[in-house]
Structure 1
Amino acid sequence: MKPFLDADFLLRTATARTLYHEYAAALPILDYHCHLPPNEIAEDRQFENLTQIWLAGDHYKWRAMRANGVAEHYITGAASDWEKFEKWAETVPYTLRSPLYHWTHLELQRYFGITELLRPQSARHIWEQANEQLQTPAFSVRSLLRRLNVQVVCTTDDPADSLEHHQALAASDFLLRVLPTFRPDQALAVENVAAYHAYLRKLGAAAEVDIQTYEDLLLALRRRHDVFHALGCRLSDHGLERLYATDHTAGQVSRAFHQVRAGQALNPGERDVFKSGLLVELARLDHARGWTQQFHLGALRNTNTRLRQQVGADAGTDSIGDFSQGRHLAAFLDCLDRQNELAQTIIYNLNPADNELMASMVGNFQDGSAGPGKMQWGAAWWFLDQKDGMEKQLNALSNLGLLSRFVGMLTDSRSFLSYPRHEYFRRILCNLLGQDVENGELPADLPGLGQLVQNVCYYNAQRYFKFDPVTTPVPERDAN
């Protein structure tokens, strides 16, 4: 019987252990997609207690607590921080076989050196031990990022955001690169006309454009795109149910925008025309700037009206959607490819039924224009971001693409304690390869396999995104 969460956690073979410990473990982290708040990095926030850094905003934990019968008062309500943590500690023993059980104890170990299992009997001791450490300089936000050897953090930012915190970080002596990512979802959100008008006023103020026409909207987005680029942004991101690729003319898109600006709702067909036209324009901006565009597809969001009204968006009431993806995605990518305006692209799916669809789709649009792996099927995302989901993603990618060109893991997290997820991914990758060697399905070529591991865990992303150099030392191994 193996000990829980020991040094060889998830590593079942000698080859897996060698690959992880000698090739993967020491590599830095390039977190090219997350939702960390840049203001807290700029301010180098010091959290008061474990609830504030660990539970606030974590809808994974909120969902588990609700499933365990915890009242909302102790989740997002007015209960004290201790009471909320106590309810989480009561829930943790019921998360056995959930990734939450692994993540919880990995984070306690890696950040706080706490190996005790979290449960009601240990809650007070762990609370006090962790809180005492949180008051020290070693647990400020910037120190936490340094400790896990993070080199680059790409946050998620609306075009209308001021980017003042990114500006402050760029002017500071903080060596870790913290870069914005251009996320223009609100520019497409025409379903609620009143809310869209409010957004246009905010975007217009940021871009210094009075947005009255569709051409004004494009001008405002271009100006903000320029500002993001000047601050080091090299990625866009879109969170969509599916891609929009309805045939359209510029006149149809402009008329749809005029209709919304006049206060009139669009029907579903008109919405598709508007979103299709604007998405193509945004993709052209990315291509012209040499950016990478990302598409997170397939979330069915905010399904619980009561909790949406009580807690707000991102309350943990989203699920996997069953949207039709293939035809729309192919049409969108083909439209750009025909015009030689298809940027480097990463596609993430939330429905596991779409795994092979996505893995095969990116292969349709690979070319030599941007080096290896121009088109990427992204890491297992959200509900799939766990051992089973990661293994299925890695296996489908191996079967239908080139695992060796994969840009690897990201956190997609709002928590500064989430970086052990990179370790989790690296262990799973090494274990898969080690098992293949054990089965005689791969040669026992440790240098070759080790290079594959290092590329997927770090060097592929370094080459793909072309982030400016950072000063954090990198293990000296051949990356060619």
Structure 2
Amino acid sequence: MSHKNFINDNFLLQNKYAQELYHDYASKMPIIDYHCHLSPKDIAADRIFGNITKAWLDGDHYKWRAMRTLGVNEKYITGNAPDEEKFQQWAKTVPYTLRNPLFHWTQLELARYFDEYDLLNEKSATAIYKNASDKLSTSAFSCQQLLSKMNVEVVCTTEDPIDTLEYHQQLAKSDFKTHISTSFRPDKAIMIGNDGFIDYLGKLEKASDISITSYQDLLDALTKRIAYFNENGCKVSDHGLNSIPYATFTEAEVNTILKRRLNGEQLSAEEVEKFESAVLQFLAEQYHALGWIQQFHLGALRNNNTRMLAQLGPDTGWDSIADYPQAEKLSKFLNSLDGKDKLTKTIIYNLNPADNEVMATMIGNFNDGSVKGKVQFGSGWWFLDQKDGMTKQMNALSNMGLISCFIGMLTDSRSFLSYPRHEYFRRVLCNLFGEEIANGELPNDLNWIGKMIQDISYNNANEYFNFKK
């Protein structure tokens, strides 16, 4: 039975204004995915997945959480069950995901990549698995082709300072039209309280060819790696922090703290925050000097299930939303940089929806007229990158800032099949404006509003990041 009437041309578009805004203005705009976790190795090798489980289920902890909730055994999720059996278990799960964004994403991705409009369930699973896997076994559905099919103009992956960037270098020399860039994510060099901090410094020593025995050595090593990333076209940094650390410090204090940690001594919470504050402030000033953009992803409570973390490792679906205080230290951090005129373009993402208005007003404190949308309230992220979360983020930004300056959507994904999320975002965006035109809350000026939709979908990000191959 076909359900083509579910994913149809006007999916999520509730009136004629929303439909016109989407079809005439938003739909054809290219995609700039300025933050994701795709594998540059897979892109450089132009990997062919061979089946839909490898392309779609491997690494997708959104799907894994849903399957576990339904009672699916872990062997069908991250275990050693055959790929088709894993897919069958996901297909069995999908009908139970109604009202979860996974249901929409699943059907949209099947439609856009595989021209598959039947609803995925136990009955349709075998045919859909064969159709999608047959296509994913051909060069027409390689990693690079999957990006090209979705009109992806720029992809910005996320790499640690110790990364060689060899795959980015290969891609820079290739004729692949999508521009593949990187972002610099130095969290492991900041989080001195983490168990793996000392081991990580050893890796940073090798990558930088600098022995790290003092705070200045650490800064020299990071500076060298920043320069290396910059030489390889990096224009963006990224930080995944619980909250922004901010404490007053002296370099002598921070040097003593690092030496104590290198000697195996326990640090107090105050010492940890002083160190983290110092390194983050230093990095932010380096970003400013190079004209980079800095991103802060705030508010995740990670690795909650220690038993499953021990079995499967991090990023396997055991994270949730935290309720850390965010406003005061974030303000002090931004103000300390702005006071030196060393605040670069900044994007702030929150994971706790209770912080929407905090972030929407915080950015206004540091938008100083020097650059359009200099400080951005980032799109709904992780648990919030769905219809309700994105709508609430855009409403907060609209009410307390200028949504016209918003740089729009990113995938933050590990999956090459996730790019219809940009379409999903654009449909939600167009419907938001379309409903208010219909209600008489916005003027019926589709040319002007359509231009604004195009700006949010693509033009603002294109201007803000200015990626060039």
**What TM-score do you get using the length of structure 1 for normalisation?**
0.96
Q: Paired residue for 2:259? A: 258
CA distance in 2, matches of 1:388, 1:34: 21
Matched, 1:412 2:412: yes
2:316 counterpart SS class: coil
2:388 maps to a residue whose letter is D
Name the count of aligned residue pairs: 467
CA distance in 2, matches of 1:136, 1:81: 18
Q: 1:68 aligns with which of 66, 70, 84?
A: 70
Q: Report the 3-state secondary structure (helix = DSSP H, G, I; strand = E; otherwise coil) of the residue aligned with 1:265.
A: coil
Aligned equivalents of 2:304 and 2:425: distance in 1? 30
Shift of 1:188: 1.3
Matching residue of 2:326: 325
Mapped to 1, the partners of 2:255 and 2:338 lie a distance apart of 23
- 1:245-284 matches, within 5 Å, as 245-284=246-285
CA distance in 2, matches of 1:388, 1:362: 22
Residue deviations 1:31-74 (CA, integer Å, cap 9, x gap): 00000011000100000211100000000000000000011111
- CA–CA distance in 2 between the matches of 1:253 and 1:340? 24
For 1:162 and 1:258, how far apart are their aligned partners in 2? 28
Q: Is 1:134–2:113 an aligned residue pair?
A: no
Distance between the aligned counterparts of 1:72 and 1:260, measured in 2?
Answer: 38
> Does structure 1 retain, via aligned residues, the 8 Å contact 2:4–2:118?
no
Aligned residue number for residue 446 of structure 1: 446
What's the counterpart of residue 353 of structure 1?
A: 354
- CA distance in 1: counterparts of 2:39 and 2:254, whole angstroms: 34
Task: Please tell me whether the aligned partners of residues 4 and 117 of structure 2 are also in contact (alpha carbons under 8 angstroms).
Answer: no
Structure-2-length-normalised TM-score:
0.98
Letter in 1 for 2:143: V
Q: Does 1:239 align with 2:230?
A: no
Q: Which residue of 1 aligns with 2:466?
A: 466
- Residue 315 of structure 1: CA displacement? 1.1
Provide the residue aligned with 2:7 in structure 1: 5
**C-alpha distance in 1, partners of 2:128/2:437?**
40
- Report the secondary structure of 1:57's partner residue: coil
State the AA in 2 paired with 1:458.
Answer: Y
Alignment of 1:137-216 (within 5 A): 137-193=139-195, 195-216=196-217
Per-residue deviation, 1:76: 0.6
The amino acid of 1:138's aligned partner reads A
* Residue 247 of structure 1, CA deviation: 1.2
Question: Does the C-alpha gap of structure 1 residues 192 and 297 become closer, same or farther in structure 2, counting only changes over 3 Å?
Answer: closer
CA distance in 2, matches of 1:10, 1:62: 26
1:324 Cα deviation (Å)?
Answer: 0.5
Which letter does structure 2 place at the counterpart of 1:139? Answer: F
Give, in angstroms, the shift of residue 205 of structure 1.
0.9
Give 1:453 deviation, angstroms: 0.2
Matched AA of 1:323:
Y
How far apart, in 1, do the equivalents of 2:96 and 2:177 lie? 41
Of the structure 1 ranges 77-86 and 152-161, higher mean CA displacement relative to structure 2 is found in 77-86
- Establish whether residue 395 from structure 1 lines up as the match of residue 399 from structure 2: no
SS in 2 for 1:156: strand
SS at match of 2:451: helix
CA distance in 1, matches of 2:5, 2:53: 28
List, as ranges, runs of 4+ consecutive aligned residues in structure 1 with deviation greater than 6 Å. none
Letter in 1 for 2:455: N
> How far has the Cα of 1:80 moved from its partner?
1.1
Deviation at 1:189, TM superposition (A): 2.2
Cα offset, 1:265, TM superposition: 2.2
Superimposed CA distance per residue, residues 295-324 of structure 1 (whole angstroms, 9 cap, x where no aligned partner)? 000000000011101111011000000100
- Alpha-carbon contact 2:50-2:138 (below 8 Å) kept: no
Q: Secondary structure at the match of 2:332?
A: helix
- SS of the aligned residue for 2:349 comes to strand
Alignment check: 8 A CA contact 2:7 2:111 kept = no
1:386 aligned to 2:404?
no
Q: For residue 328 of structure 2, what is the amino acid of its counterpart?
A: R
CA RMSD of aligned residues (A): 1.1
Q: 1:2 deviation in Å? A: 10
2:47, 2:143 within 8 Å by CA — same for their partners in 1?
Answer: yes
> Equivalent pairs: percent with the same residue?
55
Cα distance in 1 for partners of 2:130, 2:452 equals 42
Once residues 266 and 189 of structure 2 are traced to their aligned partners in structure 1, the CA distance between those partners, rounded to angstroms, is 15
Letter aligned with residue 20 of structure 2: T
Alignment partners' CA distance in 1, 2:141 and 2:174: 19
Which residue number corresponds to residue 473 of structure 1? Answer: none
SS of aligned partner of 1:238: strand
| Alignment pair present for 1:372 and 2:364 | no
CA distance in 1, matches of 2:316, 2:205: 29
| Aligned residue type for 2:299 | G
> Equivalent residue of 2:183, what SS?
coil
- Does residue 304 (structure 1) correspond to residue 305 (structure 2)? The answer is yes
AA of the residue aligned to 1:254: N
Q: For residues 424-443 of structure 1, what are the alpha-carbon distances to aligned partners after superposition, in whole Å with 9 as ceiling and x for unaligned?
A: 00000000001010010110
**What is the aligned partner in structure 2 of residue 421 from structure 1?**
421
Identify the range of structure 1 (74-83 vs 406-415) with the bigger mean alpha-carbon deviation: 74-83
CA contact (8 A) 2:37 2:157 kept: yes
Counterparts of 2:22 and 2:50, CA distance in 1: 34
Q: How far did residue 412 of structure 1 move?
A: 0.3
